[in-house]
Structure 1
Amino acid sequence: MTEGGVYMSARDLFELSVIEDFRSGRRTRVEAATVLGCCVKSVTRKSKRLREGGPGALRHGNRGRTPSNKTVTPVMEAALRLALSLYPDFNLTHCHEMLVANHGLNVKYSTFHAWCRKSGIKQGKRRRPSKRRLYRERMANEGLMLQMDGSHHEWNGSDKWCLIGLIDDATSDMPAARFYDGETTWGCMKTLRLVIERKGIPEVIYTDEAGWAGGSEKRRHFSQFVRACEELGITVITTPSAESKGRIERAWRTIQGRLVPELRHHGIKSMTDANRYLDQVFLPEYWAAKRTVLPRDQVSRYRRLPVGKNLDQILCLKYWRVVRRDHTVSYDGKEYRILGPDLGSLAGKDVTVHIDEEGETKWFYGHVPLETKLIVKPIRKWTRDAG
């Protein structure tokens, strides 16, 4: 870091650009709060800190510090072990009371509740009363925020497909939608690629807590889709509430009511024909013509793909491996020998394997492609089963 400079992450830079837009009048306070995922008062506080202390003031003052009241890991592990072994059928409140009274647990209920949620245990059903929903204004610019979701339905009357699509919050335009067998990471990446090729790169994608967006436990800390969006400069915001992304939820209701009978009327049964009808007839002739509105601001917030960016190297699966001393790497039970180019010793260095939808692998050291060869091991004459 240069002397006198301020280190800012990609998230910090995005927050800075949103607050600057708000201060210059290009965004309203409510729009800035929605994009940043915070309340309106937080936007006011951030704007004040930026005005008084500059860009560095947007960073949280406690960044990098260990909380003074952090509970040590052994205490958490012991509490969860007791909860699972002795109180498996207790609700969280009752379980916490028993641990405090009988085992001397000295933590707050909120801390214990957070431990259980993080570990995936004692996830009871939510029984919350319905809340009054408030009207939210559309975003001002096209491409500023797209809502993304998948709709599972028997679209052809017999087979259950998933329609993955994105809808522009400012105009209700659907730049891309496509049928797939399921709501998968590959399906979401291919649909996003259509948006980028047709319109450009949006600023924000607003979606639910699906697995491909990092909502499931196994993908909470790493989602291939979110990783690809970060490389493209797209902010992904997830929400547990279907009502908060009501624009696309209402769109699915409308599309199911109209598209299903149209497909039946035209005798369309295959997914290929359904996708063709969706792209060439339904979206341009009905949705774009009758369901879209004009944005409040005519300036599009879609961005062009930067020079040097290759969608094939972004919209794929990426995994990191460490090169062994003999210049070999392994992935999915297979070993590969690095043949070139000559970059000196790569032992102990991190390399990346890119996997496309067909399963083809390509290895990279940074942005440098590596030439590799699959190592075919000899077959043993004797096996345990044969012996």
Structure 2
Amino acid sequence: MGTRRAMEKKKWDLAALASIPLIMTLANSMLIPVLPLMQKKMAITVIQTSLIITVYAAISILCIPIAGYLSDKHGRKKIILIGLSITAIGGAISGLGAWLLSTGAYWTILAGRFVQGIGAAGAFPIVLPIVGDMFKSDDEVSNSLGIIETSNTFGKVVSPVLGSALAMVVWYLPLAVIPFLSILSIAAVATLVKTPKQQESEAPGFREFLRGLKDTLARNGLWLYAIFLIGCMAMFIMFGFLYYLSNTLEDEYSIKNIQKGLVLAIPLFAICSSSFAAGKIIGKKKNVMKWFTVIGLAVLSATMIVCGLHRSDTLVWLIVLLFLGGVGIGMSLPSLDALITEGIEKEKRGTITSLYSSARFIGVAGGPLVASTLMKQERWLFYLFAAIGIVCCLVVLFALKPKKGNE
């Protein structure tokens, strides 16, 4: 009852914060169904096309820990607003470059995506610690993180349909709308989110910060690195199979535009719905979080093995398998978010969750790049995904050992 009352009181704060992962996801995932069209319009290679996703994620990987430190020192809300503003600028560079330049559009788009990635580093990754700051009980934090993760995955569900629909108007429109979406989120966060007063307190100097970070990593040890690895690999598999599916639908089945977006939305809906359900169920039971992650990764690995063995049977069969794989990913993500947010003291939460977000962005960067190189060896691509899932499952079993008091 207390959890419900606390969340009701903060519902507008949560709604504003949930707009950030939604918009950051749209900014990236809207492009996935449009990549083959961009490739044709700009006469670039498959690997060059995948770099439109990879460059965004790659620069975020480097900037996220810095943003986490700055959020501990100067306040989470301030860094989020700056991050969203930079995202808007990067989106404007990409959109204007695609619109105005007949030659060199590709490199201008990449430059804009680079800037956009810097902004993204100061936006979504800071949402996890600010939610941890806003609520006192583990139940409240888990439920709220479930909402945030659901918003993230809902953005992934909507993005292929929206991206395809926008590209039917003008091929670069998915790039051009990003500044406007960012401005909406800036307005919501600025007016609705109230940061806790302690958030503005002084943080240690950079040298002392590095010493404290090293100590935190040493004290928490294996379980923390395990969560970094699993978050990275879950995103690697998700963005890898989405990139693969986007190209396969167009090249093999001639499914394009909104129809293609709707098909891509099916596995993403599985991730969204299972994330929402997992966030509601896990509460503060860390042992439940562990087993949700194990089961989710086992389901993901099994479906990837079957995809490798029987992928070419029918498109319907492939979509069913990827739907089940999405359920597995969705089961794992809220548990990982809750474990890392609740397991770290507030003073270090911004930095540690930012490192976790960096790890996830490594997966986002690597998935499309690897999938683009293995498109002609699709069986081995799925076997690679399965092997990664099995390793992550074993890591969870042996590295995550919740204390009995948290069961």
Larger fraction in helix = 2
- TM (normalized to structure 2)? 0.23
Larger fraction in strand = 1
Higher relative contact order (CA 8 A, sep 6+): 2
- TM (normalized to structure 1)? 0.24
